[in-house]
Structure 1
Amino acid sequence: MKITIIAVGKLKEKYLRDGINEYTKRLSKFCNLEIIEVSDEQAPDNLSSLQEEQVKKREGERIIKRLKEGAALIVLDVCGKKLSSEELARKIDSFFISGKSNITFVIGGSLGLDKDLLNMADFRLSLSDMTFPHQLARLILLEQVYRSFKIINGEPYHK
């Protein structure tokens, strides 16, 4: 089983890198994990909607170049479906059961994801109704993927 996370932007904060390293180590028991960072576009606060779409388009093109054919594609999207940890575990397991041994999660930049990329997704996942910095979303996602594998394997994990 392979899990790939494609994320826009580089992690800058040490505490996030430390947390991601910890979950990367924990996940090595369950899957082959690859984290791919693609560069983000500069996006000043006063962008027009057209400029925002152009930024998302350029970031989306970088992401699409890194997608592997045949992998299930799950994108993080504020308008996506919210799942419990158990439901996410079932969703991940359902891809594996259906013969997809590779799952790619995509985390967009601060403006979100391009509509073409959203339309390519096998599933759109929302982490919460709350807003998180996209860099923190990477850590939250890794923790939930780890929790999912613990659930799938019937192993205890704190609730």
Structure 2
Amino acid sequence: MKIVFLVIGKTSERFISDGMSIFESRLRHYGKYETLVVSDVKGGAKMSSDALKIEEGRAFKKYLLPGDRLILLDEKGK
């Protein structure tokens, strides 16, 4: 099994980087693990929240293959 962690844009928050490192070390025991950073959506700051989510979804879709399982993690933990 290969686990790919897709992330939109680079993070400047240290606690997020630290959390990702912990997450990565735990997941490596279950198989191959890779983090891919997807570029921020151009003009995202000017878009509505819904439009931005749609564009980010399109960016993620490029990396998904039929049969892949997608799990979404959001900033609120829900």
TM-score normalised to the size of structure 1? 0.38
1:76-87 alignment, distance < 5 Å: 76=73
Aligned to 2:21: 21
Aligned to 2:3: 3
How far the C-alpha of 1:55 sits from its partner, in A, is 2.2
Aligned to 1:74: 71
User: Residues of 2 paired with 1:34 and 1:24: CA distance?
Assistant: 8
How far the C-alpha of 1:31 sits from its partner, in A, is 2.0
Output the amino acid matched with 2:7: A
* TM-superposition CA deviations, 1:91-121 (whole Å, max 9, x none): xxxxxxxxxxxxxxxx5xx7xxxxxxxxxxx
Q: Report the CA distance shift for 1:52/1:23 in structure 2 as closer, same or farther (over 3 A).
A: closer
More strand by share: 1
SS in 1 for 2:72: strand
User: Residues of 2 paired with 1:40 and 1:63: CA distance?
Assistant: 11
User: Residues of 2 paired with 1:11 and 1:61: CA distance?
Assistant: 20
How far the C-alpha of 1:63 sits from its partner, in A, is 0.7
Structure 2: 5+ residue runs without aligned partners?
none
Structure 1: 5+ residue runs without aligned partners?
77-106, 111-125, 129-159
User: Residues of 1 paired with 2:49 and 2:15: CA distance?
Assistant: 29
Provide runs of 4+ in structure 1 moved above 3 Å: none
Aligned to 2:52: 55
How far the C-alpha of 1:62 sits from its partner, in A, is 0.8
What percentage of residue pairs aligned between the two structures are identical?
Answer: 32
Aligned to 1:43: 45
* TM-superposition CA deviations, 1:53-83 (whole Å, max 9, x none): 332222221110011222122234xxxxxxx
SS in 1 for 2:58: helix
How far the C-alpha of 1:52 sits from its partner, in A, is 3.4
Aligned to 2:34: 34
